[in-house]
């Protein structure tokens, strides 16, 4: 199996919601920010998704990414370009392999591909689609 990381290291990484939720669950979210040498970004859809899941499932704690945005640990990507919008709707609610991409995953792919950011996600299908998208853009 070839490694997923075949591109030059990105200085900016866009992060999917479940990554934050998993680190919050094991009470290591603050550590997560110190482990990465890159700048982290999220989309408004990821922020909304994290808040919703953490409210519905107390095991994740009451996680609100806005406090991390306010501290400057995460940059909020507004997804305001037409390329990001087209990519988002191309991925959202579509089935890739056995995985149907949700809003957070689709928004991470849209931002990552349009801005040549790296991506951190816990879903292999999303990472594979990112790899395909980056190759198609001749990164």
Q: What mean pLDDT value characterizes the chain?
A: 88
Average pLDDT over residues 75-88: 94
Tell whether pTM > 0.85: yes
Give the model's pLDDT for residue 34: 87
Token look-up 């990381």 returns 5
Give the model's pLDDT for residue 109: 96
Average pLDDT over residues 83-101: 91
139 contacts: CB under 8 Å, gap ≥ 6: 7, 8, 116
Give the model's pLDDT for residue 49: 95
Q: How far apart are CA 34 and CA 108, in angstroms?
A: 21
Q: DSSP class of residue 92?
A: T
* DSSP letters spanning 14-75: EE-HHHHHHHHHTT-HHHHHHH-SSEEEE-HHHHHHHHHHHHH-GGG-S--THHHHHTTSEE
Query: Is residue 65 pLDDT above 80, yes or no?
Result: yes
């Amino acid at each position: 199996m070839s490694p997923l990381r075949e591109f030059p290291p990105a200085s900016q990484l866009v992060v999917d919601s479940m990554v934050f939720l998993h680190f919050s669950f094991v009470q290591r979210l603050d550590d997560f920010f110190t482990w990465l040498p890159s700048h982290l970004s999220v989309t408004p859809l990821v922020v909304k998704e994290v808040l919703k899941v953490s409210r519905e499932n107390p095991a994740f704690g009451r996680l609100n990414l806005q406090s991390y945005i306010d501290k400057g640990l995460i940059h909020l990507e507004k997804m305001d370009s037409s390329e990001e919008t087209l990519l988002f709707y191309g991925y959202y609610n579509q089935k890739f392999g056995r995985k149907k991409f949700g809003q957070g995953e689709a928004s991470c792919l849209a931002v990552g591909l349009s801005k040549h950011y790296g991506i951190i996600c816990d879903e292999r299908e999303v990472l594979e689609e990112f790899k395909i998208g980056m190759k198609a853009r001749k990164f």
